[in-house]
Chains A and B, each alone.
Chain A
């Protein structure tokens, strides 16, 4: 066996054969997550005539997209899944109180380096930040995993994105990944396993690395991995007792594309409507009036994001013209932000604080946009109609940029607000 990539190693182990890029393998799944669409999974599972879940201890189910239930239909879906989970006794069920799946699973110790993780959500790539191979799948194929414990996957080629030069003050992981997506394009990493390396990645916290892995799907990646190091070890040490081994790409393994990014002079970045790769420097859009500012989501709803926003807003008020909405990504984050006084400070600045969940990001509920309105958000997609009316506009940015914009009532550079 010659030199192999991270993706080849994980999929070789999971399939029990020498898996090479381009091949289709049938792989055993280590961790399978589904949220509200578990109702769809369940429907397909029953239609398959499956009698029992093959490996219930590998499943995690939670609700985060419409919590607490936004409509009677949503409540019915929750109810159906809840009853099934009770009868079937699946591995872990968090119901609707823990928060967003891509924060809850890593923080509760479900995700380990080298694992093969799938989820019925495109942002499952987030878990790559811990060195897992993690990818999004559909509901019916999740039902097949419930029934059979395995799934076909094409072994992806590897693309390495090297981010060097450090990040200037007030410039974050979000600005870095928006810049990279802007350069690569919305399908620039289609079907690839993206490896994030370089000193920028090394210096980022696990939360920051999650931003990179999370948004790798916005350039089409199948998985987006940051390799384990001392920070990963530290993160996992308080969360799991299960031993794990890091998986790396061998020297000499076939990396199809390598791109270098020098981020030493990067300015805050903004993705303009209606595409995530429509990225400009904040100075090209500053001054545009906004109606709503949202801080949260699986991309940027973590403690360091709330702290970055609070740092900009502290002692200041959001503009009267702006609805500033904040949703911590999980109950644990919410609690810590309360205990540290961050929530109190944000509320004093005029923020409306929501329960942990996905709500506004996908336009499910809790802050939809009217025609003609403009929102700046820390989320991951600015597609037409995503957060409400198709006639509304969504701009994507970092927590600091969104907070600065909320104060000004217009898109603003956080470096102007916090000199």
Chain B
């Protein structure tokens, strides 16, 4: 279960909006958190709080393969991204760094910017805390949930290497 304030964004939020390439010479968490979502919403980096949830339209995370995109969101405190659809590399990277991704076509219509949202990842439910309205979504395949539950791909592979 994750819970936080909703940040609403539109369609095609690309990786240059999430974290521009010109900052990526520096891999430090401080640097990524400072510039996250800078070109999409300059207030985001200052105002984002632990647990906040991004609610977006189609094709979230299109563009570069840079893993710093989901990583910057996670480091800034974002607990999950709900979108109508995701670009494939962002989707993979998010799971691999342990950031839950939820495909839910109606969420950005139902939810208002700044309202509290609850997401039950196991049961596949997005809930508006204010109105109590609920939306269903297809939970991720078991194998991806396992990676997420482990905290990302690093602990997952560490476990596999130990078994070998």
Also in contact, A47 and B158, with CB within 8 A (given A140-B93, A363-B21) = yes
Q: Which residues of chain B are within 8 angstroms of A47 by Cβ–Cβ distance?
A: 154, 158
B152 at the A/B interface (Cβ < 8 Å)? Answer: yes
**Chain A CB within 8 A of B38 CB:** yes
A237-281 interface mask toward B, CB cutoff 8 Å, 1 = contact, 0 = none? 000000000000000000000000000000000000001000000
Taking the complex as formed, is B33 at the interface, i.e. its CB lies under 8 A from any CB of chain A?
no
Q: Within 8 Å of chain B (Cβ to Cβ): is A285? A: no
Docked CA distance A77–B27 (Å): 9
Given A24-B143, A77-B25, A144-B153: A187 touches B12 (CB 8 Å cut-off):
yes
Decide if B20 touches A386 in the complex (CB within 8 Å): yes
Interface centre among A65, A365, A384 (most CB of B within 10 A): A384
Least distance between A143 CB and chain B CB atoms (Å): 7
Asked if B64 and A362 sit within 8 Å, CB to CB, the answer is yes
Using Cβ atoms and an 8 Å threshold, which residues of chain B touch A381? Answer: 14, 16, 63
Alpha-carbon distance A140/B97, docked complex (angstroms): 8
A residues 344-366 near B (Cβ < 8 Å) are 362-365
**Known contacts A122-B65, A386-B21; A220/B87 CB under 8 A:** yes
Complex contact A24–B141 (CB within 8 A):
yes
A40 touches B25 (CB 8 A): no
Which of chain B's residues have a CB closer than 8 A to the CB of A139?
Answer: 67
**A140-B93, A384-B39 known; A50 and B63 CB under 8 Å?**
no
Residues of A within 8 A of B68 (CB): 40
B133 within 8 A of A: no
Interface size class of B (residues with CB under 8 A): 35 or more
Q: Closest residue to B21 on the A side, CB-wise?
A: A362
The answer to whether A388 has its CB under 8 Å from any CB of chain B is: yes
Q: Nearest-CB distance from B101 to chain A (Å)?
A: 13
Q: Does A37 touch B at the CB level, under 8 Å?
A: yes
> Number of contact residues on A: which range applies?
35 or more
* Interface segment out of the listed A6-14, A68-76, A171-179, A307-315: A68-76
Mark out the residues of chain A between 42 and 67 whose CB falls within 8 Å of any chain B CB in the assembled complex. Answer: 43-44, 47-50, 65-66
Q: How far is the CA of A191 from the CA of B154 in the complex (A)?
A: 24
Q: Do A138 and B157 form a contact, CB below 8 Å, given A73-B25, A385-B38? A: no
Partner of A138, one of B17, B96, B158: B96
> Is there an interface contact between A187 and B141, defined as CB atoms closer than 8 Å?
no
B59 touches A140 (CB 8 A): no
Return the CB mask of B5-17 against A: 1 if under 8 Å, else 0.
0000000101111
Decide if B65 touches A148 in the complex (CB within 8 Å): no
Please measure, in the bound complex, the distance between the C-alpha atom of A121 and the C-alpha atom of B17, giving whole angstroms.
Answer: 17
Do A37 and B154 have beta carbons less than 8 Å apart? no
Chain A 124-143, CB-CB to B under 8 Å as 1, else 0, gives 10000000000011111101
The residue of chain B having its C-beta at the shortest distance from the C-beta of A46 within the complex is B154
B161 at interface, CB cutoff 8 A: yes
Say yes or no: B64 contacts A363, CB within 8 Å.
Answer: no
Q: Which residue of B has the minimal Cβ distance to A390? A: B39
* B16 and A147 form a contact (CB under 8 A): no
**B66 contacts the other chain (Cβ, under 8 Å)?**
yes
By a CB distance below 8 angstroms, the chain A residues around B73 are none
Whether B154 lies near A44 (C-beta < 8 A) is yes
- Which residues between 75 and 95 of chain B lie within 8 Å of chain A, taking CB atoms? 85, 87-89, 92-93
The answer to whether A144 touches B65 (Cβ under 8 A) is no
Residue of A at shortest CB range from B68? A40
Residue A209, interface by CB 8 Å: no
Residue from A119, A138, A190, A191 whose CB has the most chain B CB atoms within 10 Å: A138
Q: State how many angstroms separate the Cβ of A74 from the closest Cβ of chain B.
A: 4
| 18 other A-B residue contacts (CB within 8 Å) besides A44-B153, A47-B154, A364-B25 | A24-B141, A44-B154, A49-B161, A122-B89, A124-B65, A137-B89, A138-B96, A140-B67, A141-B92, A141-B96, A187-B58, A363-B16, A364-B22, A368-B22, A381-B16, A385-B16, A385-B20, A390-B20
Can you give 22 A-B contacts (C-beta < 8 A)?
A: A40-B27, A49-B161, A50-B157, A50-B161, A70-B25, A71-B26, A119-B65, A121-B64, A138-B89, A140-B96, A141-B153, A143-B154, A144-B157, A147-B161, A187-B12, A190-B59, A190-B88, A191-B88, A220-B62, A220-B88, A222-B88, A384-B16
Question: Which 3 pairs between the two chains have the least Cβ-Cβ distance?
Answer: A362-B21, A138-B93, A383-B16
